[in-house]
């Protein structure tokens, strides 16, 4: 069950500002892939204010609030949470940035949080490989987990990319909403509405009644579910 968002646009180039935009509603504080330390609220503030559990699983991340740029196939630029001061300087929040190996443990213990942000490493996301490699990884990853009890009820998966390859003018990226218990109100398999990373942020906010961050999320198009 799923919907292809055929007109979903990334925010800018290069990678990192798109990740920053997705969880904070703005690219302010970063316009490159270098180390950023931003003083601004994020989706984490809204989730915690409403008691919604969260965690980000990062492939090859060493843990312990590590702020280094690149370690093995982990890239800090693809982990937006570590770039915000109110997460960096908060041990409780930092403890929710974990290596992706923790996901299977959480699945077995039935402790997967309500909001999950998963980032593959730079091979599995096709950044340093190719789309065939990334597609094969994704199939294997999902087949092993998608029907587990942690995900089989009241769960929507969102597959998206940070940016396109720079070859087009509109920065359109593949984005799909899906899940074994995802039942969209429309029977259409495609949605041609113009959406952005800010739309996804707004949709997350709307799902749990979180309010907004007062940034570009406020006026973004809400994704129709």
Domains of the chain: 2-208 (3.40.720.10)
The SS3 of residue 144 is helix
Is the model's pLDDT at 101 over the cut of 80? Answer: yes
pTM (predicted TM-score):
0.96
Q: Which of 34, 70, 72, 128 is catalytic?
A: 128
128 given a catalytic annotation: yes
Is the model's pLDDT at 188 over the cut of 90? Answer: no
Is the model's pLDDT at 166 over the cut of 90? Answer: no
Cα dist from 97 to 82, 93, 164, 198, whole Å: 8, 7, 26, 22
Contact of 191 with 5, CB cutoff 8 Å: yes
Res 56: pLDDT: 99
| Nearest-10 crossing angle of helices 101-109, 131-145 | 20
| Alpha helix positions (H), 10-130 | 15-24, 43-49, 85-88, 91-94, 101-109
């Amino acid at each position: 069950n799923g919907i292809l968002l055929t007109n979903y646009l990334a925010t800018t180039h290069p990678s990192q500002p798109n990740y920053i935009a997705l969880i904070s509603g703005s690219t302010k504080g970063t316009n490159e892939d270098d180390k950023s330390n931003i003083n601004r609220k994020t989706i984490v503030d809204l989730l915690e204010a409403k008691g919604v559990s969260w965690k980000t699983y990062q492939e090859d991340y060493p843990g312990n609030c590590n702020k280094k740029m690149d370690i093995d196939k982990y890239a800090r630029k693809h982990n937006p949470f570590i770039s915000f001061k109110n997460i960096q300087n908060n041990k409780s929040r930092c403890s929710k940035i974990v290596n992706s190996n923790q996901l299977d443990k959480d699945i077995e213990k039935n402790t997967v949080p309500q909001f999950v942000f998963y980032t593959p490493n730079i091979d599995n996301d096709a950044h340093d490989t190719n789309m065939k490699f990334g597609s094969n990884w994704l199939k294997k990853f999902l087949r092993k987990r998608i029907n587990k009890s942690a995900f089989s009820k009241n769960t929507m998966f969102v597959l998206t990319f940070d940016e396109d390859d720079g070859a087009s003018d509109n920065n359109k990226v593949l984005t799909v909403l899906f899940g074994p218990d995802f039942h969209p109100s429309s029977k259409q398999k495609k949605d041609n509405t113009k959406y952005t990373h800010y739309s996804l942020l707004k949709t997350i906010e709307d799902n749990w009644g979180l309010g907004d961050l007062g940034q570009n999320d406020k006026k973004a198009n809400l994704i129709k579910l």
